[in-house]
Chain A
Amino acid sequence: GAVVSQHPSRVICKSGTSVKIECRSLDFQATTMFWYRQFPKQSLMLMATSNEGSKATYEQGVEKDKFLINHASLTLSTLTVTSAHPEDSSFYICSARTLRRFSYEQYFGPGTRLTVT
């Protein structure tokens, strides 16, 4: 149980285009989803937290207009990287938390490798 999927697993796009990454909780309902960014050989950096039906809360320094997050249902959240540039190339990982009150367990997706050329 508690499986989180991400699609696509890898994407290459040209500079200036937009890319959408999907994150789905397959066998549970996720009230809260998290988006992380990970640079090579570094830790995960939290970008934003999203609750179903609400606007995402972005961490300091993360551009809201560049990284659009939508959490339209209890099983789906999307991250859109708008007008991507080579410096946006990174490994993006989503994570989902279950509906249980005071739940603290997060389940992670397999990640999406974005390369902007």
Chain B
Amino acid sequence: AQSVTQLGSHVSVSEGALVLLRCNYSSSVPPYLFWYVQYPNQGLQLLLKYTTGATLVKGINGFEAEFKKSETSFHLTKPSAHMSDAAEYFCAVIRPNSGGSNYKLTFGKGTLLTVNP
């Protein structure tokens, strides 16, 4: 079974400061990892993903994340926070279901990012 742990349900930063949202996973097989963002009363938007290849992945809106197998982590960062970054962020991992081919996302509990002026 695979699981995702997001450390910190709420992170608050000042505008212009570094954003760091933590995600650790447990998996018996190499996972695919995702970060999604959700604005209030909206669905989820994919920020970035890691499947294979380069471990540092760049996403939209200036976000990036690094897959560290030794630390089983996939932390999300952005060098300089903007007010528009305030949202809920979810880390997710793919796990196969019993059918084998229908990969299903397992989500972390989410981290609410607030950006202070």
- Nearest chain B CB to A51 CB, angstrom units: 7
Contacts of A51 in B (CB 8 A): 102
Task: Tell me if A's interface is mostly helix, strand, loop or mixed.
Answer: strand
Please determine whether B104 and A43 come into contact, CB atoms closer than 8 angstroms: no
- Among residues of B, the one whose C-beta sits closest to the C-beta of A106 is B105
The answer, among B36, B41, B94, B110, for a CB contact under 8 Å with A104, is: B94
The answer, among B49, B104, B112, for a CB contact under 8 Å with A46, is: B104
A94 to B42, CA, bound (A): 11
Contact bitstring A93-107, B, C-beta under 8 A = 1, else 0: 101000000101111
- Among residues of B, the one whose C-beta sits closest to the C-beta of A4 is B43
Interface size class of chain A, counting residues whose CB lies under 8 Å from the partner chain: 20 to 34
Given contacts A43-B107, A44-B107, contact A32 B43 (CB under 8 A): no
Of A11-19, A66-74, A76-84, A109-117, the segment with at least 4 beta carbons within 8 Å of chain B is A109-117
Please determine whether A104 and B103 come into contact, CB atoms closer than 8 angstroms: yes
Interface hits, A45-91 → B, CB 8 Å = 46, 49, 51, 57, 91
Contact bitstring B95-107, A, C-beta under 8 A = 1, else 0: 0010101111101
- Which positions in B face A, CB cutoff 8 Å? 32, 36, 41-46, 49, 51, 90, 94, 97, 99, 101-105, 107-110, 112
Residue pairs across A and B with Cβ atoms less than 8 A apart, 12 shown, are A6-B43, A34-B104, A43-B107, A44-B90, A44-B107, A51-B102, A57-B99, A57-B102, A105-B49, A107-B46, A108-B45, A111-B43
